[in-house]
Amino acid sequence: MRTRATSALGQGPAAQTPAVLVRDLTKRFPAAVALGGVSFEVRRGEILGLLGPNGAGKTTTLHVLLGLVRPTAGSVRIFGLDPHRERAAALRRVGFASPEALMDWRLGVEENLRVYAEFYGAERASVARALAVLELESEARTKFGELSLGQQMRAGLARALLHSPELLVLDEPTASLDPDISDKTRRLLLSLRKERGLSILYTSHDMAEVEALCDRVVFLHHGRVVAEGTPLAVSRRVLSRADLDAASLEEVFLKISREGGA
């Protein structure tokens, strides 16, 4: 069961600034429009699922948010900071993990994490702590290139947590993990959210996982937001079933993929 964060973040103006604010985000490429006016926010202490079929615009949205791709129009903010104009200050507050965000294949896991800890300015003890939390202590000296896909993903999560970020951006973080490690990872994320008021922007194609983790979801389709709200509210609206007493995001996903939204 999900537990909502009990915030100790205060009530001042800074505390009310969303962790992520996306407004009218547009990205045009020469051959296609990837994003056509996307708007949403991630509240402080919230886990938000950014969902949709392949090609919906999720990856482009994340790349703009992380300062990797410049938008054609619109804006993104991380705790009020522009990740393009204030890149270092904004991204210092973000941890990112994705199966595509690899490490140096020639170095051991611990060596890799030490490099990133120094880069982030994280305390030395953060490496051992991250290895323990992600159950990677036995692989600490194993070269990254010799790890299984699941172990590589866990190493990526360990890297994302090194500098105690306020926002985690996680792209399919449990896609290559076995059920036991996936469950432990979800429990870890819920624990971090509860203890630190951590905000999490989460993409996944596992709708049962999304229902278990996310406070709210945003569905994209062809670069536009087509549904937004709690998993239950979105399920009721998209499926036109007001009598639902439990979320059914897999059905929602299929309907949006096939019919284009609510």
pLDDT tens digits for range 199-252: 999 999 999 999 999 999 999 999 999 999 999 999 999 999 999 999 999 999
pLDDT tens digits for range 13-67: 556 899 999 999 999 999 999 999 999 999 999 999 999 999 999 999 999 999 9
What band does 79 get if pLDDT is binned at 50, 70 and 90? very high
pLDDT tens digits for range 146-183: 998 888 888 999 999 999 999 999 998 888 778 888 88
Model pLDDT, residue 15: 61
With a cut of 70, say whether residue 190 has pLDDT above it.
yes
What is the 3-class SS of the chain, one letter each residue?
A: CCCCCCCCCCCCHHHHCCCEEEEEEEEEECCEEEEEEEEEEECCCCEEEEECCCCCCHHHHHHHHCCCCCCCEEEEEECCECCCCCHHHHHCCEEEECCCCCCCCCCEHHHHHHHHHHHHCCCCHHHHHHHHHCCCHHHCCCEHHHCCHHHHHHHHHHHHHCCCCCEEEEECCCCCCCHHHHHHHHHHHHHHHHHHCCEEEEECCCHHHHHHHCCEEEEEECCEEEEEECHHHHHHHHHCCCCCCCCCHHHHHHHHHHHCCC
Model pLDDT, residue 209: 93
Q: Which residues contact 124 (CB under 8 A, 6 or more apart)?
A: 117
With a cut of 80, say whether residue 9 has pLDDT above it.
no
